[in-house]
Each structure stands twice: as structure tokens, then as C-alpha cells.
Structure 1
Amino acid sequence: MNGHHLPGAATSFPALGTTATLLTTDHRTLTEAERILMDELAAIDSTCSRFRPDSELSRLNSAAGTATTVSELFAEALNAALRAAELTGGAVDPTVGRAVRALGYDRTFASLRPQDAVPLPTARPATGWRAVDWEPGTRRLVLPRGTVLDLGATAKALAADRAARRIAEAVGAGVLVNLGGDLATAGRAPHGGWRVGLADDHAATGPGPVVAVTSGALATSGVSVRAWRRGGQVVHHIVDPATGRSTEAYWRTVTVAADTCLDANTATTAAVVLGPAAQEWLERTALPARLVRLDGTAIRIGGWPDDPAGGPR
């Protein structure tokens, strides 16, 4: 998913294992906006990255079984992850970290190497989010022994929300932050809205559906881009907590609009995990959504508009 806007200003750079794209409605604010975005991304990376041995998340995973007082930012990220688990009935669960590692996703996706000859280990269900001993008031955390937290389903979306809100407040312009398909807006949108192209891969170019975003957020999750081979099987990064395996591919991509990127991404990830049950579940949320089957056919629910003619994305 790509955000594009001709007036104003834009910049892109690698971040969090993906591409960060920043757009503002006033080119004079871009330098300050980029500084704020980079500050937010550095903070979320040092706090929530499971690919950095020095991150707070890595230290907490190593300390599973003992009580630890976490930082305010980690507390916000953990609250977001546990809320996502509750809202989705456990379909999005931060305790899937051991399963994700076992599948071979133990480094940034760009660093993954073919491991086809390596057999898949025996799958084990996630510990379960209800087993996390968490006291939000004191920020005291005790992870069950053997549990590995993975905040990948929520932390990037939280970073997009935080950055967009902070930038708009600081510079007084409309802003769009896109972190590899997790897209948040704040402030006044440009005339006609931010034009956002939808694709399986956020870095794709070419014709495709385009929607106008005037407020709120969009997120897209899918199984076709972050996939690799393991033990003769194609696996991907979205794990079913109930099985500890990559969820069975049913939807190629799911895109959801919501007030926050965190809510949008929670819904898209849950939909991929839920597979054929996703449509009914999303209809109950009343969130606009576009779900693309493996054969490329799309269904739209919650008032999602029909796909217009394709154009530049």
C-alpha cells in the first residue's frame, strides 16, 4: 500500500525492516516532521524490536519468569498488544514469539536466507496472552517461563499513530505516515484526501485500486510478500496462535480502515488468521474492509467503495 500526494512534500527511508514514507501538506514542515518521525521510530525500535539483542523487548524475553518494571513506552506497546488480543479473541496474540522464531523469522526479513533443507520443528501453540502477569498501574511485568513476546502485529502500527499525531501537533500541517503499509494520518488532509494505492506489496508500482483517505488510518496485511521456504513448505510471518504455525493462506491481502492504525492493523492481522471466518468477524466490527482472495477476486464490506479504475499509485 502506497500513499501519494502531489502538493506539499514527501520523503522515504528504510526503517523497522521496511520503508517509512512521510507526506505533509506544507513543504516547509518536512524537515521538522522527518526529525520527529525518525525520533519516534528510533524509540519504538530500541524498545520493541525482537531483532536487536539490546532492545527492551529482548531483555524482557530473556528475563521471563522474573518480575520486571518496564518503560512507559513499552507499557504503552504492551497494553496495545494485549488489547488487540482481547478484541480478536486471541487471534492476534503477542505470545507467539517462540513460534515465529521456530519458523525461521528470527532476523529482519531482508536478512532471511533460504532454509528449505531445514525441517520445521514441532509446532506448539502460543502460551496465550491471558498468562501474561501484567500490572499497568505499576508497569510490573512477569512473563511465564519459556514465553517469547513478539509485538510485531501492533508496535509498527502504534508507531505510525504516535508519529502522525505528534508531527501534526508540532508543525500544524496535515501529515501521513506510512510504515510498510501501516498508514496513519493526522491534521487536515489535502483537498480530495490522501490518495492511497492498494497492493500486495507496499513497494509495488503500477496500476491498481486507489482510495482517498481524509482522516484516520488504513492497514494492509497479507501472506504473499513476507514468505519463505522451510522444510519444503512455504511459510509466512503471520502465525496462528492456536497452532504455532503460519496461518493457512485464505486471503491474499486484507485492508481495513479505522480511526487508528493500531485498530486497522489489529483487524487485518486477525482477518488473515481467521481465514474464512474473517468476513463475518469483520462485519461485526463495522469497519470498512477489502479482502482479496488468493485468486485475486475481492469482496468489500462495511461500506468500502467499489474499486475505481486503476491509476498511478
Structure 2
Amino acid sequence: MSRRRDPLDNFETVEFPAMGTTVAVTMPEPLAPPVSALARATFEEWEKVFSRFRPDSELNRLNRHSGRLYRASSVLYRAVQAALEAARETDGLFDPTLGRHLGVLGYDRSWDEGALDRDQPVTAIDLPTGLWRQVKLYPTARAIWSPPGTVWDLGGLVKGLAVDAVIAACVSRQFRPVMVNAGGDLAVWGVPQGWAGWPVMPPWPGGEAVLLLEGALATSGVTRRRWRRGTDWMHHLLDPRSGQPTRQPLWTVTVAAPGCAMADVAAKTAFIRGPQEGRRFLERLNYAGAFWYTDGHVEAVGSFPLTTRGGAV
């Protein structure tokens, strides 16, 4: 865990690795010990539950129980509920049951720059998509039934849910103002005194700062999670309609929403839909956002990147 002074007066930023990224928590210096400890404990707990690359994680126990009933912990059960709700609300373009596809494409180990590159090309993928539609939940027993062969991958959704969980804990303890940033997916509560909002730099070159008053920002894109199979470049944003990495003229989509998990799902869905359908999707939700194209230009949705409250603007 590292600590540094923040450009905001009398603020401190504490950083630590978790979920394949760096989590940064910014808060007034007196709050640094309790808030950073709370954040680190939350992310450590969630990583033990949800890691796709730890054989002993609860997520992998659930995957090994496909075709059988599995009684889940409360945190896993709630995350699966949230994932199924997101899948329904996005007409299946957010599909949390594509873990086998990611493995076949080569994303079968913890992320490390270059570690996934292989000279062997990907052969045709003949795996079913949309298995989430067959999943059954039993709330009283807190049990989950997944169809045979299901491999869950909750990825960015869980990272967003962890950010939201830390913010919720800070709200209950009246720890504010605070910003929790997990590799660019972030949420805030409260505003630093004398500031119009939290200054947040967008993930594209030369962008002006977003002033975030409340809520969250999340970015989905192909600038980081990329690897080579043969002569082809792969990435982790799969289109459930084909089971293949989506091919869009985009680097990233950034979305402001009331919560980080909501922003993550919206950003990923808008990216998969592409610029035109993705814009209409965000407009229906009344979310502000921005599309960064591969030719370098940026198009805004709503009032982004002006001051936003996260979500309706």
C-alpha cells in the first residue's frame, strides 16, 4: 500500500493492487487510516470470492458446480443477481456467462502485460452463448443453478460493485468526502470544500477534466486488456451474438451513472453496440458519456464532459 499527498489541500491518496488493477482512495488526511483500511479489506474479500484465476475462489466453486445446485455466500448471490438483472436490461449484450469463451481466446490467467500473447491462432469457437437465460435462483436457500458448462465471468461488474460497496460503507459511517477509483472505474461521495466537484481526467489524450459532484464514472475499452493470438489481436469485450471480440471503431466508452456497477454495465454495452446504437442506448437511460474513436476524436453524449452528477444530467 502506498500513500501520497493529493493536489487537493489536506487530502491523501492511498493506493494498493487489487482485481488486476490499482485501487486509489482519496480522502481528507484525518480519514486516511479508517477509509483506506475499509477499502483494502473490502477489495481483498471480494477478490477472494470472485477471482477467475484462483482455483479456491468461490466463483470457481460455482463454476465447478455447473449443472448442480450451489448454495452461495451472500456476496456471491447478490453479485449473480445483479449480473442477471444487467443481462436482462441489456437484452443479453451484457452476458456474464462467457468465461469459457475468454479462456479459449487466451484470457485464461491473471493479467500481465504480454503474458497472454501466443503464436497459435484461435480456431473456430463453437460454444453456446446466453446461458444466463437458463440460470435459476432460489432466494430462500440462497442457491444458484447454472446449466452444465457454464463458466461465470463477472469481471468489471464486480469491480464496480466493490467500489459501490466501499462508498456505501463510507456513507453509513459518515466518512466524506471520498473518492474510490479502481483503475478508472470510480465513485465519489461528498465534494471537497471549496471545489465545484471532484476533478477527474478522462481516459483519452487531451481531454478536459470532468467535475464529478456525485455518482460514478466507468470506462470500457480495448486500450489495456489486449493480447495477440497468431497475427490477430484479442480483447475482453465479447459480443454475445458471435462469442467473439467485438470490432468497433472505438478505443473506449466512458459513462456517468448513479453507481459504479451501473456505469460499468452501460459503458460495456454501449461499446458492444457501437457508436450509433450505443449513443441511443445511453440516451434512453439518460446517462452522460463519451465515445473515443480509433481515429482520435471524441464524441459526447449528453453534457459530458461538463460537470455531471453521474447519470441524468
Q: Same fold (TM over 0.5)?
A: yes
Q: In the alignment, what sits opposite 2:15?
A: 12
Q: What pairs with 1:108-257 in structure 2 (closer than 5 Å)?
A: 108-110=110-112, 113-123=115-125, 124-170=127-173, 172-190=175-193, 191-200=195-204, 207-257=206-256
Structure 1: 5+ residue runs without aligned partners? 201-205, 308-313
Quote how far apart the aligned CAs of 1:116 are: 3.4
Question: Does structure 2 retain, via aligned residues, the 8 Å contact 1:287–1:302?
Answer: yes
Q: Given that residues 217 and 255 in structure 2 are in contact (C-alpha distance below 8 angstroms), is that contact kept between their aligned partners in structure 1?
A: yes
Q: Name the residue aligned to 1:297.
A: 297
Contact 1:226 1:237 in 2 (8 A): yes
Q: Are 1:36 and 2:38 counterparts?
A: yes
Q: Secondary structure at the match of 1:22?
A: strand
**Kept in 1: contact 2:131–2:147 (CA 8 A):** no
Q: Aligned to 1:177, what secondary structure does the other structure show?
A: strand
How many residues are aligned here? Answer: 299
Find the aligned partners of 2:74 and 2:184 in 1 and give their Cα distance.
26
In 2, are the aligned partners of 1:158 and 1:261 still within 8 Å (CA)? Answer: yes
Stretches (4+) displaced over 6 A: none
1:217-246: per-residue Cα shift (whole Å, max 9, x none)? Answer: 000111122101013200111111121111
Aligned-residue CA RMSD (Å)? 1.9
SS state at 2:187 partner: strand
- 1:168–1:175 Cα contact (<8 Å) kept: no
Q: How much identity, in percent, do the aligned residues show?
A: 36
Gaps in structure 2 of 5+ consecutive residues: 1-5, 308-313
User: 2:187–2:216: 8 Å Cα contact kept in structure 1?
Assistant: yes
* 1:97 alignment partner in structure 2: 99
- Tell me what 1:85 maps to: 87
Give the 3-state SS of the residue equivalent to 1:256 in structure 2: strand
**What amino acid is the match of 1:136?**
P
Are the counterparts in 2 of residues 189 and 214 from structure 1 also a CA contact under 8 Å? no
- In structure 1, how many angstroms separate the alpha carbons of the residues matched to 2:10 and 2:264? 28
Deviation string 1:47-85 (CA, Å, 9 cap, x unpaired) is 111111110001110111110110000011111111111
Quote how far apart the aligned CAs of 1:106 are.
1.1
- C-alpha change, 1:298 and 1:97, in structure 2 (3 Å) is same
Match status 1:282 vs 2:282: yes
Any conservation in 1 of the 2:289–2:305 contact (CA below 8 Å)? Answer: no
d(CA) in 1 for partners of 2:29, 2:116 = 43
Q: 1:134 to 1:5 in 2, by over 3 A?
A: farther
SS in 2 for 1:110: coil
TM superposition score normalised by structure 1: 0.90
What letter is aligned with 2:293? R
1:219 is matched by which residue type in structure 2? A
Tell me: higher relative CO, structure 1 or 2? Use CA pairs within 8 A at least 6 residues apart. Answer: 1
Report the more deviating stretch, 229-238 or 276-285: 276-285
* TM-score for both structures, normalised by structure 2: 0.90
| Residue 267 of structure 2 is aligned to residue 268 of structure 1 | yes
What CA distance in whole angstroms lies between the structure 2 residues aligned with 1:13 and 1:155? 17
